[in-house]
Structure 1
């Protein structure tokens, strides 16, 4: 069944970013615009433009309380004598030297990020207009000190056109649903701009006013069918060009493994969506949709046999044993249902070494672990990895840590890493590794990927003055095939 009312409620209550947060974000952006206009930053400002999921109206509520972000472009005239890095560096200085934004500021390659209490952040990116060609827009790569052509406004217009071809704004709503699916399942990796483009490519001019795009569940089914067909026709990673700038390949940073994994899971979820849509009884249909989107779907209604997530939880428990030498099939279950199926007991493994530092009166969990995959620890190329991503048994991860939603660990504090192996093979070979280790480069820790299983990495923050434990991150799940 389509269950259109249930999808409407699910989007409103669970998926969409609530209006209060949007109002706060818009207030922050207005203040940033005013600050830049009144600052000593040298470029003449032509105007501002929204970009990313905020501008595309595909922004979603963060899963598990994570922060959400918005992209703000500052369109400026070129400054004589400035190179690309100057636009970002000098803008960063203006914010960093401000009493209002100083502690909230971090400078990246293309933008300056303002973070608000770990809940939301605004990426402010300078765009130089008409530097070489009239009306041509270029973003600024600070690290490489080079200008790169961009078409952010035209791309946003292209997405809006896709939406007008679908009834009831269903393209935007389906994009939000699939971003939510990506974030709750963590079974595939796909940057938002790439995912949104792939979905937009499945809607054509002749779809206007067609029955296949009449409502959200029907649009979801049709878009997933077309996307799966498109992917299955391409066994190897294709180019996914910006429809308004052919030289830009949104899939360039995707690894072959990530593409293959994405292709496989879109095929799997396409089948699940077809089954849910075709289910005849309301109870069976809700259970089938919950298999895809979790128990928050139609959460006000009782279903006797809620398959999907509960099914995955039961399977996970059956595969776990008290020694954490779990069966290899646990990896397959996590692939299908995501790390949310793992019970709380999974994170309290007997061979996991307990902290020996005295605990401060308040131990914060506002500690974030980040990871990047590399072929080896000194490789130049890397790929960001999220907790729960499915990884190959080769190469390794550099783990890094931040606090308060992305801020560096302050001076006077040190980091210890607890690395815990699970799975029968790992435990047989290394006797249940669950030890603490010091960082190797700054606060970063390198770990090779070897043994099939679901492994854990955690960061602990120690105050040097009294050797007290003041912070501990949630576990970062490392899933190795």
Structure 2
């Protein structure tokens, strides 16, 4: 499902840089421009311009504890006798002398960076114009002491033009979503400028008004699909020319292992996005979108659905007509058949992230009631059998012959709680947990409700999912 409202609030609440921080950034930029204009650092200043994600409007909210940053270009005329390192070194030296920036200025290869107590950073980069001919732009590499050709204004216009073709500012929004996904997952590397180019390359002039860009979610599906196709056709690190400066290869810093990993992850996430988009069940679709973007996507809705499983409201409650106080009472009275199939599709239930293996095995769960985690066994337990809180249950995963799996496999357990008591305790769970002892795991009975445990069989040598049990329902009175 497209879930437009959830994407809108997700962007506003978790992805986009909030207005307070934008105001701080803009105020800081004005102050920096004024400070640089007042410096006696050598070259004549022509103008200033934003660069990078700030200029392209793809800047995102940083992860907790991390600063957000912006790039500011200061265009200057060439100063006779100066080499590239002089522009950066003198800018850093003079900025650092100002009381307002004392202790805040750091020197990097192409810029002076002003750091504001871990909250934000501004990179100020000199760009020399018309040094050899009119219309020439060069940034300064102080490490190599070389001028490097640049096309900052033309590139920004290219990004904006591509965004206009896609329509609805959706290219910018998709780029923000992918940067957010990169940052929260932390399992692939792609610099923001390169990601921006790769996404822009997937938008063609013929796409104006296309149904493939009808809305944000459709645009996301279209662009990630095209990017995956482009990457799969290129097993080795490709050349990615700057579209406005063809001699610049933006992928030059990508090693083969980094590229191969990025290629693999985009292929995986493309499948997840396609599944979430195609899913017709609302709760299942929310859960699948959470697999892509994390728990912050539709978080409030996921909690609401989990704690509402026993509501008896007409026209959709799981407990009908007020005959039962909650779902526990209904299952006690009517047996396992009263457990709704929708329970396992609740949004807060984590969807598997392993790729499926071509071979699949039967996985069954047996369970035993115990006095404690390592206590004595009391008796076997059946799925959906009502149990008292306080005891422990030991779950074991077995094959179709009732035998545990070999050490070639690991068993991961998805443990999910539901209903109001667990929700109020902040214990809805739904995550995956390792086995305590090869293919067994123990859980304490704590919260009234109908909960469930599932076993996932993962082959160790290739980390493929090769088996999944049916849910074992745990009914706690």
Please give the alpha-carbon distance, in whole angstroms, between the structure 2 residues aligned to 1:105 and 1:187.
31
- In the alignment, what sits opposite 2:347? 306
Whole-Å Cα distance in 2 between the matches of residues 132 and 247 of structure 1? 18
TM-score (norm 1): 0.65
Unaligned residue ranges in structure 2 (runs of 5+): 307-345, 355-406, 414-430, 434-461, 464-477
**Per-residue Cα deviation, 1:428-454 (whole angstroms, up to 9, x for no partner):** xxxxxxxxxxxxxxxxxxxxxxxx99x
| Cα deviations by residue, 1:174-221 (Å, 9 ceiling, x for unpaired) | 000000000111121100011111011000101111111121110000
1:251 matched to 2:251: yes
What CA distance in whole angstroms lies between the structure 2 residues aligned with 1:110 and 1:146? 10
Other structure's SS at 1:297 match? coil
Evaluate the alpha carbon distance shift between residue 342 and residue 125 of structure 1 in structure 2; reply closer, same or farther with a 3 A threshold: farther
Deviation at 1:306, TM superposition (A): 3.2
Partner of 1:5: 5
Equivalent residues of 2:350, 2:432 under 8 A apart: no
- TM alignment of 1:81-480, pairs within 5 A: 81-302=81-302, 303-304=305-306, 305-306=346-347, 309=350
Partners of 2:40 and 2:348 lie apart in 1 by 59
Query: For 1:128, what is the secondary structure of its paired residue?
Result: strand
Whether 1:77 and 2:72 are equivalent positions in the alignment is no
Q: Does the aligned pair in 1 maintain the 2:232–2:263 contact within 8 Å?
A: yes
1:292/1:308 contact within 8 Å kept: no
How do 1:6-45 residues align onto structure 2 when only pairs under 5 Å count? 6-45=6-45
**3-state secondary structure, aligned to 1:140:** strand
Tell me if structure 2 keeps the 8 A contact 1:68–1:120.
yes
SS of the residue 1:300 aligns to: helix
Q: Could you report, residue by residue, the CA deviation over 1:348-394 in whole angstroms, capped at 9, with x for unpaired residues?
A: xxxxxxxxxxxxxxxxxxxxxxxxxxxxxxxxxxxxxxxxxxxxxxx
1:213-258, CA deviations, whole angstroms, 9 ceiling, x for partnerless residues?
1211100000011000001111111001100001111111000001
Max radius of gyration: which structure? 2
Deviation at 1:13, TM superposition (A): 0.6
Query: Deviating runs (4+, > 2 A) in structure 1?
Result: 302-313, 327-330
Determine if contact 2:77/2:128 at 8 Å carries over to the other structure: yes
Contact 1:276 1:288 in 2 (8 A): yes
Aligned in 2, Cα 1:342/1:136: closer, same or farther, shift over 3 Å?
Answer: farther
- Contact kept in structure 2, 1:239 and 1:250, CA below 8 Å: yes
Number of residues paired by the alignment? 325
TM-score of the two chains, using structure 2 as the length reference: 0.65
* SS of residue paired to 1:138: strand
CA–CA distance in structure 2, aligned partners of residues 189 and 277 of structure 1:
25
SS at the partner of 1:276?
Answer: helix
Deviation of 1:310 (Å): 7.1
Please give the secondary structure, in 1, of the residue aligned with 2:99.
coil
Which whole-Å CA distance do the structure 2 matches of 1:308 and 1:91 have between them? 53
In structure 2, C-alpha distance between the alignment counterparts of 1:312 and 1:236, rounded to whole Å: 25
TM-aligned CA distance change 1:30 to 1:267, over 3 Å = same
**Cα deviations across residues 105-161 of structure 1 (Å, max 9, x unaligned)?**
001110000000101000000000000111200000111111010001111110000
User: Secondary structure of the residue that 2:143 maps to in structure 1?
Assistant: coil
Give me the CA root mean square deviation. Answer: 2.4
CA distance in 1, matches of 2:409, 2:99: 54
SS in structure 2 opposite 1:76?
Answer: strand
Secondary structure of 2:115 counterpart? strand
